[in-house]
Amino acid sequence: MFEIAKKKMPRLYDYYSHLQRVRTIKNIQKVKKLTFEQQLSEVGRLYKERIGHDLDWNNLKTYTEKMQWEKIYDKNPMKSVLADKYAVRSWVEKKIGNEYLIPVIGVWDQFDDIPFDELPNQFVIKTNHGTGTNVIVKDKSCFNRKRAKRMFDDWVKMDFGYTTGFELHYSDIKPKIVIEKYLETEYGELQDYKFICFDGKPYFCWVDMGRYSNHTRNVYDLDWKLQPWKQERYALYDKPIPKPKNFEKMIKLAENLADGFSHVRVDLYNVNGTIYFGEMTFTNGSGLDRIIPEEYDFILGNLWNINIDGK
């Protein structure tokens, strides 16, 4: 229904979306006032609502269960630095080199500060502190600046540590607006190659196709064999996805970037063999996406060694 409204009544859809964001901002202020015990209770409620069973903090076995512990108890300050889509660039440059960084056109604190007349015809504009807060511009002459301003003014006000199940490390990121060079592959956009890593070792590569049209996600092992499991809310891409060029090099880069973390998702792009860094994600889907079939939630959970005694 919303997709139909988006196409047939775009102005009304945009205004409705703005109202939704305003409500989210107001709700964040309420959620921030919860005590620690209330936060734990709310996480448990969300988990049961989304995953379908109770969360036992004293017997965490699955990937999604351990993700809840990660969000609340793991206070490693590096998570905030590396989840910051701009600050992480300095760290990546030191770890693997700046040749893997997508060129940045500029960084600003507010949308009104951006000199759009000086920008190239194509670019990607996003915030550094959240998820789903980006706009791809393929033709600047068609760019609706007024609509974008409303979105980014809202997004900059959001504390994404409190939007979906207490991903608290996002709360320490100072919001900025980043504009990067536009890149695409033969598919007409970028595909995400998301490496799921435990103790610095990649185990699976999640491939996202059509993120801004028809979002699908396939899971491959490191031998590029399609896996028999998925996250429930993502459909499968219905055609074979070829293994990207320099895939073994991508694995090595993911290993380097994941080193020192019990769990992290390392996102990379690959444009005809040229590899680019995407982002580091510590709380994939806030641990609230069901894994189908459920046995793979346990398989992933067995790979994740969390230090519960050190909480």
Note whether 235 and 224 are within 8 A (CB): no
Q: How far is CA 201 from CA 60, 221, 255, 284, in A?
A: 21, 12, 6, 17
- Rounded to an integer, what distance in angstroms lies between the CA atom of residue 122 and that of residue 136? 8
Domain boundaries, the chain: 79-184, 185-281
293 pLDDT above the threshold of 70: yes
Nearest residue to 192 via CA among 280, 92, 289: 280
Q: What is the pLDDT of residues 134-177, one digit of tens each?
A: 999 999 999 999 999 999 999 999 999 999 899 999 999 999 99
Q: Which residue has the tokens 């919303």?
A: 2
Class of domain 185-281: alpha beta
Task: Return the SS3 of 23.
Answer: helix
Q: Which long-range contacts (CB under 8 A, 24 or more apart) does 184-191 make?
A: 184/271, 185/270, 185/271, 185/272, 186/272, 189/136, 189/213, 190/269, 190/271, 191/241, 191/269, 191/270
Each residue's pLDDT tens digit, 66-115: 999 999 999 999 999 999 999 999 999 999 999 999 999 999 999 999 99
